[in-house]
Amino acid sequence: MRKRIIYLLVVCLVAGIAYLFYQYQTISQQAEQQVTTDIKLIEQPFRNGSSHWLQTEAHKNKTLLKTQLITQSVDDQNRFIRHYHSKFIRAGEHSCLKTQIVYPQREAEVLEQSFVDTEACLP
């Protein structure tokens, strides 16, 4: 009887671990898909030339090289924020656009965008 209980506990433990691993995989895939969607949201206006940043003299004719997720945080208002850096080049000179994205109703929304010092761009 004792062996049967131990066997049953081990089987339940293995099944629980397998379930947790499955849940982890599902959540990580969803997060990766969201990051990909965010990067498309950030890059699309630059790729098709409709970004208001490209209309200014300081940023005209810049070419987008790469966008990368830098960090994630929660602000004082309990909003989940993803921080992205986009690296640009123009005539050999690099610049960096910092973008913060929030998710008010599960839809990505740009909270803030600003060009920052290139030293702080993409780790």
Domain of residue 98: give its range.
2-120
Q: For 21-41, write each residue's pLDDT tens digit.
A: 999 999 999 989 999 999 999
Residue given tokens 């790729």 in the structure block: 47
Share of the chain above pLDDT 90, in %: 47
How many residues does the structure list for the chain? 123
Specify the number of domains making up the chain: 1
**How many beta carbons lie within 10 A of that of residue 119, not counting itself?**
7
pLDDT value of residue 7: 93
Average pLDDT for the chain: 88
Burial class (CB in 10 A: 0-12, 13-18, 19+), 97: buried
pLDDT greater than 80 at residue 117: no
User: pTM above the 0.85 mark?
Assistant: no
pLDDT greater than 70 at residue 123: no
Residue 86's beta-bridge partner residues? 67, 97
d(CA 11, CA 52): 59
